[in-house]
Amino acid sequence: MPGPPWWSTGGKEKTNAAADGVRTEVPGADVTAVAADLASADGAEALRERVGELDILVNNVGIFGARPVLEIDDDEWRRYFEVNVLSAVRLIRMYLPGMMDRGFGRMLNVASDSAVVTPVEMVHYGMTKTALLAVTRGYAKAAAGTGVTVNSVMAGPTHTPVADFARELVGDDLPWDAAQRRFMKEHRPYSLIQRLIEPPEIGNLVVYLSSELASAPTGAAVRADGGHIDSIVPDTGHHSV
């Protein structure tokens, strides 16, 4: 059974610590920290009450974990969909109309290379990231011509809690550098950088797509995957009705 929600087990402290980090890096920054369960409508509304309107929305809520696909029950399928997909859909519905009215906005959904390279140990996770690509494309069409862009960032294996996940798969008896190499070789062999991506490497792409410089990309699945996806042109731009 899933454990208690993250925001009831240290989430507030982590959120406040992240806000303090921003204030340290950017003196004078006006930062509002809100801890809420965005997998629920009540949590999304609590965020809206504290934050109000937005010009940039980055949907980066997500859970993952290894599970043999035949052992994933209905409740776990629903939980992954509600956290990884519906959390983004709710916030897009909440904030997109205001952006369209103002004639500017940036919406980003943090997806994954797992959206198209489905990992056998995380089929339920891969499914949610595939869904985010469709969500992105659909809402980008809804915002067509308004000055609002909607894009996905397809992140590859990143040095976050994935480090703990990697150790689960390769064992904890190796030094981290060796464990990382083994994880990439055995479980992500098509990565061209053959290492975990560092969070700022994903953040740099998010910053660009959130800026006024990124006025043309929309409805796109933009890759920061370390070359793990073995294709030249992503299959995300078909002209369909």
Hey, which residues are catalytic here?
A: 125
Long-range contacts of 68-76 (CB under 8 A, 24+ apart): 68/121, 69/120, 69/123, 69/124, 72/123, 72/124, 76/2, 76/124
* Phi-psi region at 10: left, alpha or beta (left = phi > 0; alpha = psi -120 to 50): left
* Phi-psi region at 82: left, alpha or beta (left = phi > 0; alpha = psi -120 to 50): alpha
End-to-end CA distance of the chain: 41
Can you tell me whether residue 228 is helix, strand or coil?
Answer: coil
* Closest to 163 in 3D by CA, of 154, 150, 172, 153: 172
As beta bridge partners, residue 108 has 58, 151
Sheet holding 221-224, edge to edge: 56-59, 105-112, 148-155, 221-224
* Closest to 15 in 3D by CA, of 43, 53, 54: 43
Distance of alpha carbon 179 from alpha carbon 106, whole angstroms: 37
